[in-house]
Amino acid sequence: MDKVRVALVGAGSMANSVHYPSLHELDDVELVGLCDLVEEKLQQTADRFEIDKRYRDYQKMLEETAPDAVYVLMPPHQLFDLAVHCLREGFHLFIEKPPGITTFQARMMAQWAEKRNCITMVGFQRRHIPLLVRCKEKVEERGPIHQCVCSFYKNQIGADPYFAGSVDVLTCDAIHAVDTLRWMAGGEAVSVASDVRSLGVDYENAFNALIRFSSGATGVLLSNWAVGRRFFTVEMHAQTISAFADPDDKGTVYADNDQEGEVLEAKEVAGSEELRKYYGFFQENRHFIDCILSKTQPISCLEDSIRTMELVDQIYASAMK
């Protein structure tokens, strides 16, 4: 095909700020329809991205536009029915993380994707951040990563739980750090020891874990929603080489006891000042479209995302009493 015909469900902030601008920029993508229940959001978003066909019924949109792929950008507790409908009808599918509110939901979506031979992608965009990809490549030039750390902190004391409490913090948001650990380690969790706590709220909002992966790597998760401000950082270590990176700023690669290290600026590596490009959103959308064109599964397809959801379950199950 010359162009991938894409229909869109959802006109929220993430759709407007990172996903739809990225798709609109791609020459081999045609945006054939947009659906949202809120009329003002529907019209404003469709006008911005030059989408002629506008709907409030997503099934009608799919019937009339006959797309190759569908983006369903919905809150996790509202996602399942729409995603499964798209998969049962045979449409390739992009969804944001998490893939549902339970591992069971993710597994059921993956089964429908396999039955209908659908290409699917879950938006774990940290895997596509140019700075982190470059750091990982440099470290792995010396050999496999044997230790990695992902720290994800936020200050949400006083804020409501995600979606009024329909999904927990670790599954909804801190899952980014869990998935990044899997990506860096290059294997699956074989043992987990964790500390799960409630700090200043009446639900769990702090998650720390030590994870042994099948690759031989040790992973460390540090996540806490009751700190001073938002931080997301990673460490990657292999024999004689280390990388420390903050994708909002820069990364430094140290090798052979060099005290200065090689400094990599996040925006320079991405070649852009736009957050959607230096934080991996443009690249993940490019990857999904490329996979449709090449008929291959993305690196964070629904089947792969089950492993991340299972690791979330393991972190809860292994928590110290």
Q: What is the pLDDT of residues 5-24, one digit of tens each?
A: 999 999 999 999 999 999 99
CA angle 288/31/282 to nearest 5° reads 40
Domain residue limits at 223: 127-272+302-317
Q: Indicate which CATH number applies to the domain containing 58.
A: 3.40.50.720
**pLDDT for the residue numbered 321:** 85
- Calpha distance 194→196 (Å, rounded): 6
Query: Does 79 lie in the same domain as 147?
Result: no
- Calpha distance 247→135 (Å, rounded): 11
**pLDDT for the residue numbered 226:** 98
Query: Does 131 lie in the same domain as 96?
Result: no
Query: Does 148 lie in the same domain as 63?
Result: no
Phi, psi of 156 (to 5 degrees): -125, 25
Two tokens at 57? Answer: 């019924």
Q: What angle do the packed helices 103-115 and 302-317 form, to 10 degrees?
A: 160
Give the domain-ending residue among 125, 159, 189: 125
Buried b (16+ CB within 10 A) or exposed e, 134-171: bbbebbbeeeebbbbbbbbbbebeeeebbeeeebbbbb
Two tokens at 172? Answer: 């909804």
In a domain, 290, yes or no: no
What pLDDT digit, counting tens, does each position of 31-72 carry? 999 999 999 999 999 999 999 999 999 999 999 999 999 999
Residue entry with tokens 């230790």: 147
Indicate the number of domains in the chain.
2
What stretches in the chain show pLDDT beneath 70? none
> Which of 122, 178, 162, 215 minimizes the C-alpha distance to 314?
178
Query: Does 201 lie in the same domain as 62?
Result: no
In a domain, 284, yes or no: no
Q: How many CA atoms lie within 13 A of 158 on its CB side?
A: 2
DSSP 39-69: HHHHHHHHHHTT---EES-HHHHHHHH--SE
- Calpha distance 142→193 (Å, rounded): 29
Residues 91 and 290 sit within 8 Å (Cβ to Cβ):
no
Q: Indicate which CATH number applies to the domain containing 204.
A: 3.30.360.10
In a domain, 288, yes or no: no
Query: Does 266 lie in the same domain as 251?
Result: yes
Query: Does 184 lie in the same domain as 59?
Result: no
Rg of the Cα trace of the chain?
Answer: 20
Query: Does 160 lie in the same domain as 240?
Result: yes
- Calpha distance 119→290 (Å, rounded): 11
Give the domain-ending residue among 125, 157, 180: 125
**pLDDT for the residue numbered 1:** 73
**pLDDT for the residue numbered 28:** 98
Total-model pTM: 0.97
Sorted by sequence, the CB contacts under 8 Å of residue 233 that are 6+ apart come out as 150, 151, 244, 245, 246
Query: Does 157 lie in the same domain as 111?
Result: no
**pLDDT for the residue numbered 78:** 96
- Calpha distance 36→74 (Å, rounded): 10
DSSP 114-155: HHTT--EEEE-GGGG-HHHHHHHHHHHTSS---EEEEEEEEE
Give the domain-ending residue among 102, 125, 148: 125
Residues 102 and 77 sit within 8 Å (Cβ to Cβ):
no
Dihedral in degrees, nearest 10, Cα atoms 123, 127, 131, 132: 140
- Calpha distance 178→181 (Å, rounded): 5
In a domain, 43, yes or no: yes
